[in-house]
Structure 1
Amino acid sequence: MGLAFAPEQYQAQLDAKRQRLIELLAPFGAPAPEVFDSPREHFRLRAEFRLWYEQGVPHYAMFEQGDKRNPVLIDQLPIASQRINALMGPLLAACKADPQLGRKLFQVEFLTTLSGQALVTLCYHRPIDEQWDAAASQLAAQLDIRLIGRSRGRKRVLGDDHITETLQVDGRDWHYQQVEGGFTQPNGEVNRKMLGWALDVVGDNPQQDLLELYCGNGNFTLPLSTRFRRVLATELAKRSVQSAQANLAMNAVDNVTLVRLASEEVTQALTGVREFRRLQGIDLSGFEFGTVFVDPPRAGLDPATLELVRGYPRILYISCNPETLAANLAELHSTHRISRCALFDQFPYTHHMESGVLLERR
């Protein structure tokens, strides 16, 4: 991804995605999808480049999918954020000029925010030490970035290992810690639209609670917390749980209970099949879940989780894989109908698409 860039073809590609989603959802009587487009350029907030050396001189390189032998050498990337593009030249020049920064450097990773913060990770095929720290500190100050160095078995962090994104959703600013190496939504503007749509479709539920599976760093959890009495949010990945906890505290959200459990374990806990030490002190029977929100990995929902979510009046489902979404909907169609659906163009110029559906009990 990243080498295909044809703004003149964007609308036709978006129309094709919309038609594909319509066809996938047609068996379930879905309404016409709401479509949320992307900026045509500078939409991607993170990027990763290998370095390719020609006569000892490094260049940023990308590769077509499945081809690691024929690099495409670049100095700018139109789909990447303006901040990434502004940093690419000065960063590489500094690495060329200083052996402490450039020697055996093989990969550069950029993470940026809509608000202009940037974290850069430099990856090496050699050990790095205090001498690297001194040179890297000067570079970080010069470019106003957070900088991390990685080599086998070593990670050197200058300052923080995260940056803070700020997204305005429904008139409120939400702040998110984004950690190096952790998952973040790559298209900030489309993510903001996606959060706004989720708030719109759930409405206000002051007497009900929300069950959220796969909450990640709390991307949806934070704004959705304003629409429910309480939220029980679950996530398995330790790093994501830590970021979610930090984000809840940073935004002064106090009605969310966050638990580190896999979706299958949540099913076991809520159905009384098994007790978990991590749930000690949490009264599951005190929750009144009217809505369950899921944003699963590409494989979709497993059979046990499908049966769990079927038991709730409303299911809000965000999907990064329309095929597995359709397969899950085939299972849920007997008990729930689609009342709203949407297409979010997180990945322009590719076949990938993010979609969302609100299911309500028949």
Structure 2
Amino acid sequence: MPLSHIDPANYDALLAAKVARTCEQLAPFTASAPTVIPSPPEAFRMRAEFRVWHNGDALDYVMFPPGEPQNPVVITRFPIACAAIQALMPDLLAALRAHTELRRKLFQVEFLSTTSGETLVTLAYHRRLDASWETAAEALAGQFKLALVGRSRKQKVVVGRDYVTETLHVAGRDYHYRQYDQAFTQPNAAVNRQMIEWACASVTGEGGDLLELYCGNGNFTLPLSRHFNQVLATELAKTSIRAAQWGIAANHIENVAMIRLAAEEVTQAMNGEREFRRLADLPQPLSAYKLNTVFVDPPRAGLDPATVAMVQRFPTIVYVSCNPASLAENLATLSLSHDISRFALFDQFPYTAHMECGVVLRRR
């Protein structure tokens, strides 16, 4: 995102224009006005990533205009980052600049923070990291009270830990999440919390059991579990599964079963086309679940045609999408059997064209 696009004074107008564009995209499938969840205009991002530019003794965070990899723009202030990242950025850069072992062939710095200020920093290098680097990194982590990870090609060095623990207050209860280095997490904690509350309100009273595809680190899974007898949550990424399993245990949730399957494989299992050994770890056979509701939060490409056909069999579909275009493609099929009963827009990414959407579909 070019820094010139960050315009807090005009945030409301920019959001209104984005809402209008998204509603136009989805107009063939719903005539109702959406619930719109705005973002804080500043200090909303819990993640930030910068390239590092070396020029003699100078060391700067930089970003590049699209298509201009040799035209670095020095970043001295990043107002959309959360307060903890904004406060850390200049002091960390000064410490890196002053230490030869830490700055040598450093090319990228990544920040991951939480609403409590707990922060993980990842330093990426074009060289192998040795014991001297690790000693310097341990001192740096102690100085700033950080979790720290060093990365180079085929190498990962963890100083302390490679995760942070986020706590979100959702519908009157605190939920604890583990967020690992390099794993996907929702970038806007304030909007994410409201997305979760919207999802929970959407399924209140549904009962039965829930199938969740693309559950990630359990972002929605943990709070949704309160509304169903059993939850069958699926995810392919091993790190996300590890985080979700930690969250299930840490939050004392006993009605969630995790399986490592891609959405396409879940469809094959649901259709009886393939048997998967991993299903043997479930507390009961797949056919024994009373799956009345499906929750999907797919990547930008949306659901593949076979998965669309599979979820179409459910009485209730809760669909959270980061791409209105792929959502519209899927709705072209889903709307043949289901009507949209709830529609919401969540501004996860202010000052960009991206809009997060949520729809609840009920079978006619």
TM-score bracket for this pair, using the shorter chain length? over 0.9
Matched, 1:221 2:218: no
The residue that corresponds to 2:189 in the other structure is 188
Shift of 1:34: 0.2
User: Using the alignment, how far apart are the partners of 1:277 and 1:263 within structure 2?
Assistant: 16
The residue that corresponds to 2:73 in the other structure is 72
Structure 2 alignment gaps of length 5 or more: none
**Secondary structure at the counterpart of residue 341 of structure 1:** strand
Structure 1 vs Structure 2 CA RMSD: 1.1
TM-score (ref. length: structure 2): 0.97
The residue that corresponds to 1:86 in the other structure is 87
User: Using the alignment, how far apart are the partners of 1:100 and 1:33 within structure 2?
Assistant: 53
Maintained 8 Å contact 2:345/2:355: yes
* Counterpart code for 1:264: E
User: Using the alignment, how far apart are the partners of 1:135 and 1:236 within structure 2?
Assistant: 36
Shift of 1:284: 0.9
User: Using the alignment, how far apart are the partners of 1:76 and 1:29 within structure 2?
Assistant: 41
Shift of 1:87: 0.9
Shift of 1:213: 0.6
Bigger mean CA offset, 26-35 vs 42-51: 26-35
User: Using the alignment, how far apart are the partners of 2:355 and 2:67 within structure 1?
Assistant: 21
Q: Number of matched residues?
A: 361
Identity %: 58
Matched, 1:288 2:285: no
Matches within 5 A, 1:305-320: 305-320=307-322
User: Using the alignment, how far apart are the partners of 2:271 and 2:300 within structure 1?
Assistant: 25
What do the CA deviations read for 1:262-316 (whole angstroms, capped 9, x no partner)?
1111111111111110011531111111110000111111010010000010000
What do the CA deviations read for 1:107-131 (whole angstroms, capped 9, x no partner)?
1111001111000011112221111
The residue that corresponds to 1:246 in the other structure is 246
Matches within 5 A, 1:108-257: 108-206=109-207, 208-257=208-257
Maintained 8 Å contact 2:235/2:241: yes
Maintained 8 Å contact 1:30/1:340: no
User: Using the alignment, how far apart are the partners of 1:323 and 1:66 within structure 2?
Assistant: 24
User: Using the alignment, how far apart are the partners of 2:305 and 2:350 within structure 1?
Assistant: 32
User: Using the alignment, how far apart are the partners of 1:321 and 1:38 within structure 2?
Assistant: 18
Bigger mean CA offset, 145-154 vs 176-185: 145-154
User: Using the alignment, how far apart are the partners of 2:31 and 2:188 within structure 1?
Assistant: 26
User: Using the alignment, how far apart are the partners of 2:169 and 2:177 within structure 1?
Assistant: 11
Maintained 8 Å contact 1:42/1:81: yes
| Runs of 4 or more consecutive aligned structure 1 residues displaced over 6 Å after TM superposition | none
What do the CA deviations read for 1:67-109 (whole angstroms, capped 9, x no partner)?
2121110122001111111111111111111111111111111
**Secondary structure at the counterpart of residue 185 of structure 1:** coil
User: Using the alignment, how far apart are the partners of 2:2 and 2:113 within structure 1?
Assistant: 16
User: Using the alignment, how far apart are the partners of 2:98 and 2:29 within structure 1?
Assistant: 60
The residue that corresponds to 1:356 in the other structure is 358
Maintained 8 Å contact 2:26/2:324: no
The residue that corresponds to 2:16 in the other structure is 15
**Secondary structure at the counterpart of residue 226 of structure 2:** helix
Shift of 1:2: 5.3
Bigger mean CA offset, 277-286 vs 332-341: 277-286
TM-score (ref. length: structure 1): 0.97
Bigger mean CA offset, 52-61 vs 304-313: 52-61
User: Using the alignment, how far apart are the partners of 1:127 and 1:273 within structure 2?
Assistant: 47
Structure 1 alignment gaps of length 5 or more: none
* Counterpart code for 2:221: T
The residue that corresponds to 1:102 in the other structure is 103
Shift of 1:330: 0.7
What do the CA deviations read for 1:184-240 (whole angstroms, capped 9, x no partner)?
00001000010010011111334x000101111110000000010000011111111
User: Using the alignment, how far apart are the partners of 2:244 and 2:291 within structure 1?
Assistant: 21
* Counterpart code for 1:301: L
What do the CA deviations read for 1:119-154 (whole angstroms, capped 9, x no partner)?
001111222111112111111111111111112222
Bigger mean CA offset, 89-98 vs 189-198: 89-98
